[in-house]
Chain A
């Protein structure tokens, strides 16, 4: 190969790298739009954001209420919870009761969930990894953390967002006395 030919080859190589960078960039925008079940520039972004804000507000008001009853001292969340961190700054400082969420390495003991001073929150929402995370429609919470005590727990409160994208159920041991006041809707 002549010197000029070799130089031209490397110049072409640089041009090819430039084209490759642009093509990879386009690929990243076309195929990277979806990660798991979520999509960039979701057409329902505004609606979902409003619903999520309502979801957090409803949960916050329920937690406030439960803590104010003086009969609930522990509010437990399972590993699938997504709303607690939105209300933690208030709920985590409440001296009357404690919010506790399990993690894959800090599982909650089943007997703690059966206490009459405890309630369990389970949420439904859109998850990036699993798509729709649903709640059991009625009866006991039958999956995740509470599966081992499902027969003892029954829902005492339910909340759904207007479009049904988010919601939560609050469960309590069936044998415990009813809470003093009726739960807020």
Chain B
């Protein structure tokens, strides 16, 4: 393909991403207040952020929490407070930030998943699933789902750029916002560890210069943020236990019957089966190593998010179950078939026969 054609394609895809961003922003804004209706949940997250922006502390008296509130980590409050302080300390700003966050997350996810699927065209088709009502819903609430999707998208993008440490940092950072990506973090870390043990040349890469420096800065920032949160919790241990006790009791209302008849658990089971099938197919086709290094970690992140959505059962997690995870799994599946096709065509052209696991060491 000539340089001008590549340039034109890049430009068109860039334009598509801009259109996606604007569409999410406009459609979310057009439905603000009625999709969803004004939510009683918004106050729980807006008031601590407002308090931080206006009074500079995390003890929101207006939420009857003069000693702080510890039922979720403080990352989201800091994120919203930053923009409230920067722009204006009103509810409108917080809602606008929510919508902009989810719109940015959608763009980053589309860019990252295009690399996972090895196809921009397929990702454009998937956009109908991402630029959809569950996304606008999340953009119209003052909740952390938008920020979680942004960190998830950043982790995928960084993984596709082979910046594994940064991807891991993004997932780790997400724990300071909400535990939704906790399972994803565990699975991603496990997949990287397994790959490092299996083959010490992949996926680790020796970084130099700016890349190495950025790794150090990001990892140190995440460690410092965690340390700050832990100090805050340690100094309010009693309140933390009381507030977290409420969350544990709420989430513990889980039964096997619930799981069997819950569409989110059924979707999780289906997605696990799809991933397993893809792994077998990739291995059989002789692209096992590339699948494990480039594609499987993204699929595992998606499965982790779906597991949390199924376990959490909250209406707000609908964006994970209905948009983010299905798009990710579809792109993982498309990427795997692309890899297999590429390998088959290459091997047939070279040797005149299709690849097998034995022939490729996969």
Contact indicator A28/B122 (Cβ below 8 Å): no
A101 to B47 Cα, complex, angstroms: 9
Contact indicator B65/A106 (Cβ below 8 Å): yes
Chain B positions 91-114 with a Cβ under 8 Å from a chain A Cβ? 91, 94
- Chain A min CB distance to B145 (Å): 12
Prevailing SS type, chain B contact patch: helix
Contact indicator A89/B90 (Cβ below 8 Å): yes
Residue A149 is within 8 A (CB to CB) of chain B in the complex:
no
Determine which of A24, A39, A108 lies in contact with B35 in the assembled complex, contact meaning CB atoms within 8 Å.
A39
Contact indicator A103/B340 (Cβ below 8 Å): no
**With A3-B344, A93-B54 known to touch, is A36 a contact of B36 (CB < 8 Å)?**
yes
B63 cross-chain contacts in A, Cβ below 8 A? 100-103, 106
Interface string of B330-350 (1 = CB under 8 A from A): 100110011011001100100
Residue A92 is within 8 A (CB to CB) of chain B in the complex:
yes
> What 6 A-B pairs have minimum CB-CB distances, sorted nearest first?
A25-B128, A128-B36, A32-B133, A42-B34, A82-B38, A106-B64
B345 cross-chain contacts in A, Cβ below 8 A? 7
- Among the listed stretches B186-194, B296-304, B315-323, which one makes contact with chain A, having 4 or more residues with CB under 8 Å of it? B315-323
Contact indicator A17/B344 (Cβ below 8 Å): no
**With A28-B133, A82-B42, A85-B43 known to touch, is A104 a contact of B31 (CB < 8 Å)?**
no
A11 cross-chain contacts in B, Cβ below 8 A? 341
Interface string of B346-361 (1 = CB under 8 A from A): 0010000110000000
Q: Which residues on B are within 8 Å of A, measured CB to CB? A: 30-40, 42-44, 46-47, 50, 54, 61-65, 69-71, 89-91, 94, 122, 125-129, 132-134, 136-137, 142, 242-243, 246, 315, 318, 322-323, 326-327, 330, 333-334, 337-338, 340-341, 344-345, 348, 353-354
Give the number of chain A interface residues (Cβ < 8 Å): 60
Contact indicator B133/A17 (Cβ below 8 Å): no
Contact indicator B246/A125 (Cβ below 8 Å): no
Q: Which residues on A are within 8 Å of B, measured CB to CB? A: 3, 6-7, 10-11, 13-14, 17-18, 20-22, 24-26, 28-29, 32-33, 35-42, 44-45, 48-49, 52, 79-86, 88-89, 92-93, 98-108, 125-129
A106 cross-chain contacts in B, Cβ below 8 A? 63-65, 69
- Chain A min CB distance to B59 (Å): 11
A129 to B341 Cα, complex, angstroms: 47
Contact indicator A28/B31 (Cβ below 8 Å): no
Contact indicator A35/B315 (Cβ below 8 Å): yes
B134 cross-chain contacts in A, Cβ below 8 A? 28, 32, 35
- Chain B min CB distance to A123 (Å): 9
Task: For B38, give the chain A residue with the smallest CB separation.
Answer: A82
Contact indicator A98/B246 (Cβ below 8 Å): no
A125 cross-chain contacts in B, Cβ below 8 A? 37-38
